[in-house]
Copies of this chain bind each other. A is one copy, B any other.
Amino acid sequence: MPDLRSAPELDVIEWLGAPAPITLAGLRGRVVVIEAFQMLCPGCVQVGLPQAARVRETFAPDDVVVLGLHTVFEHHEAQGTRVALEAFLHEYRYAFPVGIDRPGASGGIPRTMAAYAMQGTPTLVLIDRQGRLRRRVFGHIQDLRLGAEIEALTGETDATLVGEPELGEAAPGCTIAGCAP
């Protein structure tokens, strides 16, 4: 049996679109899909966030919870304010809760992004019903495969790995695939 890592708790300074602060502990028993993004990252706006919205429409909220995580690691002045993020979410009609990742020391990688060792944005994270980190994808993943992976986690009654967390290399800067610090 592989050694499954417990997903680090989210370190969020504020939640938008949520009546109260959200914790992974409070979501135990459900599959959690986290879309980590920056509002000025083209690959997030064009691919990652629309996919997260489709996930939210496809799966029952009792089984699968979709969360956004705003992980600003560049252009802090431009996209690091609550008001900017709020306007962005409003215009794009994203209805899932979005947490603002706690800024790192001296403007570096924010806390949750660092705890999950994310390479950049967009990053998609899957957490199982027992609160374990099961998948972390930097860049894009096809809908067909993502649908299968989420379903596999919802069907689990006992822990079995759907695959090793994906670890790869990301060059700094933004491409259509995503932005890396």
Chain B proximity of A135: nearest CB distance (Å)? 14
With A45-B45, A145-B147 as contacts: A87 and B58 at CB distance below 8 Å = no
Contact partners of A74 in chain B: CB under 8 A: 87
Return the CB mask of A148-162 against B: 1 if under 8 Å, else 0: 111110010000000
* Contact of A142 with B75 in the complex, beta carbons under 8 Å: no
What are 27 A-to-B residue pairs whose CB atoms are below 8 Å?
A40-B88, A42-B91, A42-B92, A51-B144, A54-B144, A55-B144, A58-B144, A58-B145, A58-B148, A59-B148, A75-B83, A75-B84, A77-B84, A78-B81, A78-B83, A78-B87, A78-B88, A79-B84, A91-B174, A143-B144, A144-B144, A145-B147, A146-B147, A147-B148, A148-B150, A148-B151, A151-B152
